[in-house]
A and B are shown apart, each in its own frame.
Chain A
Amino acid sequence: MNNSLISQSFKNAKKENRPALLTYTVAGDNSKKKSLEILKSISNYADICELGFPHNTPIADGGQIQTSAHRAIKNGIKINDVFSIVNKFKKTKKNKPIILMGYYNMIYQYNENKFIAKCKKSKVDGIIVVDLPYPENKNFSSKCKKNKINFIQLISPTTSKTRLKKIINDSHDMIYYISMLSTTGEKLKVSPKKIMREYQKIKNQNKSKNVVIGFGITEKTIKSLKKADGLVVGSAICKEITNSIKKRQNTVINVTNIVKRLKNKIR
């Protein structure tokens, strides 16, 4: 999968001597139409777009993403709508990678094989499943690989050294490093130096893997981690959607502005 759109995005960012910027928004937040508009607009600045398929019992998400997910579900988002958002997005932005992110029960109910087939058809580039860790994910991950979809493994500060090796061995083009013991959207409670040290441990295992860092990354903290291959911002964006709705402002413009600012900080 070396020439996947995901790998290509990292190469492009590297050429510009900066980390790739990854955004996370929830499909259907705050409506199907709006979330597609937001996605299209922020993808002008983001290198890779993560799109969450919301679940109402998330065990690793903080308040901001829970609020976004809640709004999306309330507005009637279904898994098939998520695929149709990706489909429409890819019609105008065919080279921009999309990674779906969510909880396993949604995939399980949809049926694993059907889910992967649908991903392939709508040109999804990668999948992150928060509660399907290694080695439980072996089967699903290899199914993804067969269909040329990147399954993205997660690594956290608690991951042991032996486990780390096994996970990296089983990973595809991209690995997601969770910066700290935290749900999404908490304040960064570990020093960037320490995070980069842990990050380097992963890189040392296999230089060819693209390792992104996520959790706790905001406009304030993004610059301090810019040596990474990629950086993910999620809660800060979801929070902006919430605030814009509260202030009755244009969510698309406000969210695009924050992504633009994030990008400027890592150039």
Chain B
Amino acid sequence: MKLKKNIPLIDQHDKLGFWGGKFGGSFIPETLKKPVEDLTNEFQKLRVNKKFIKKRNLYFKNYIGSPTSFIKLKNLSNHLGGAQIWAKVVSEANGGAHKIYNATVHALICKSMGKKYIVGDTGAGYAGKMLSMAAKKFGLKCKIFMGAKDIKRQKPNCDAMKKNGAKIVPVYSGSQTLVDAVSECMRYWVSNCDNTHMCVGSTVGPNIFVKICGWSTAQISRELKTQLKKEFKKIPKKIKLINCVGGGSSAYGFWSEFIDYDKKQIELIGVEAGGPKKSKLHAAPLSRNAKIGILHGAASYVCQNNEGQIRETESISAGLDYPGVSPIHCFLKDTKRARYTFATDEAALNAYKMVTRFEKINPSLEPSHAFAEAIRIAPKLSKDTIIIVNSCGDAKKDRDILKQRLGKY
């Protein structure tokens, strides 16, 4: 298994859609073959269409607010000693998280395909909120599938979805979290694929959805590359790019421009959700050695039992609370290009406390997992090491959890 250079990772799959011969693919019911094929053809056309790219870039700039800032966290760096810690504040994007990139592109594709309805899944509620925003912006009718447990714990985002005119469909099956929301959303698409476009909220699902999402979030690393060159004159010698990984959309977006670099120069570190310290449950298939399995139309490392039943996961962060992970991250793991680890609920909360004490940013619980790893390794590293954390979500949506766990928000 080997990575190729000068080809975007999203395109390094074989004819059947597998990365590294075994991750990804399209394990879908016959009914979805045609809509998936149509979508694949449409995307193939659009991504090389200059007019479409121009339109996308225009919306990225004027609607999403690209580029998001790249800042040094001086106080935090000074407090910890060792490496310099920087943040790419993607949470500045319209709506408060990186999910807006994928949502905007899907809405544009939906429009271009002449479909009037768009549906999507959501965990933390950001994917749903952003899709509802994009739907409103482009005049599409929108339905969002969300686990009943997540609806309770991410209320601010639900309020936003409703305000944008989207219908939230609560999902009561299984663990009532993201995994069930994605299943229900796919089932809905099976029944309505003739007039409805489906947006998968992360770099997961059948091959084409991994590609569209990765293509959309890659904007983050394009910006970062320019910003690095501007700040340091050239790409520094020792960089560590730390990103949380649930499905893996922000991590891929954050890394995509840097995958071709030697890992001694640019190390990629993915941080999964380790769950509560004392719990056996987690949402960390990569770093806690789950077996390969098929979930939501793709093969990836999946939290599951010996029989192949998908296991319940547990994490304080709804956005990372997912038993599977993107096939492209499985590929990056097996080719050893990226290193994956996990942070517990408690570590993420402590990281949140520390970051907000020293800095003016307000990372949600998802990137707080990435900050936990940065805080852990920074003191041991040299001063010329540049740690960059993707602060990919804003903590407003977590106010209830933070109030409850930390006594204040």
Give A contacts to B, CB under 8 Å: 55-62, 66, 70, 73, 78-79, 103-106, 108-110, 130-136, 154-160, 163, 178, 181-183, 186
Contacts and interface: CB of A to CB of B under 8 A. Distances in A.
B190 A181 contact: yes
26 contacts: A56-B310, A57-B174, A57-B295, A59-B28, A59-B29, A60-B187, A70-B173, A78-B307, A79-B307, A103-B294, A105-B295, A105-B308, A105-B310, A106-B308, A109-B306, A133-B28, A133-B29, A136-B16, A136-B26, A156-B29, A156-B34, A158-B35, A158-B194, A159-B30, A163-B34, A181-B194
Contacts of A182: 190-191
Interface string B296-310: 110100101011111
Contact of A108 (B33, B193, B293): B293
Nearest to B192: A181
Residue in B191, B291, B296 with the greatest tally of chain A CB atoms within 10 Å: B191
A58 B293 CA distance: 14
B191 A58 contact: no
A158 B195 CA distance: 12
B97 interface: no
A61 B31 CA distance: 13
A220 B186 CA distance: 28
Nearest to A62: B187
B27 interface: yes
B190 A106 contact: no
B25 interface: yes
Interface string B21-48: 0000111111111110000000000000
A56 B183 CA distance: 10
Contacts of A108: 292-294, 299, 308
Interface size class, chain B: 35 or more
Given A131-B28, A156-B30, A183 B304 contact: no
B172 to A, nearest CB: 10
Interface string B47-86: 0000000000000000000000000000000000000000
A60 B296 CA distance: 11
B351 interface: no
Residue in A57, A73, A105, A108 with the greatest tally of chain B CB atoms within 10 Å: A57
Contacts of A133: 26, 28-30, 33
Interface of B: 16, 25-35, 173-174, 179, 183, 186-187, 190-194, 291-297, 299, 302, 304, 306-310
A186 B191 contact: yes
B191 A73 contact: no
Given A105-B293, A105-B308, A181-B31, 13 more contacts: A55-B309, A56-B174, A57-B179, A59-B297, A60-B29, A62-B187, A104-B294, A134-B30, A135-B16, A136-B26, A158-B30, A158-B31, A163-B33
B27 A56 contact: no
A214 to B, nearest CB: 12
Residue in B187, B191, B194, B310 with the greatest tally of chain A CB atoms within 10 Å: B187
Q: Is the interface of B mostly helix, strand, loop or mixed?
A: mixed
A201 to B, nearest CB: 15
Contacts, number: 112
A55 B302 CA distance: 14
A130 B29 contact: yes
Contacts of A181: 31, 190-194
A169 to B, nearest CB: 15
Given A181-B191, A181-B194, A158 B291 contact: no
A57 B171 CA distance: 13
Given A108-B308, A133-B33, A156-B30, A183 B25 contact: no
A183 B27 contact: no
B187 A158 contact: no
Contacts of B306: 109
Nearest to A77: B307
Residue in A59, A135, A186 with the greatest tally of chain B CB atoms within 10 Å: A59
B316 to A, nearest CB: 23
A104 B310 CA distance: 13
A66 B173 contact: yes
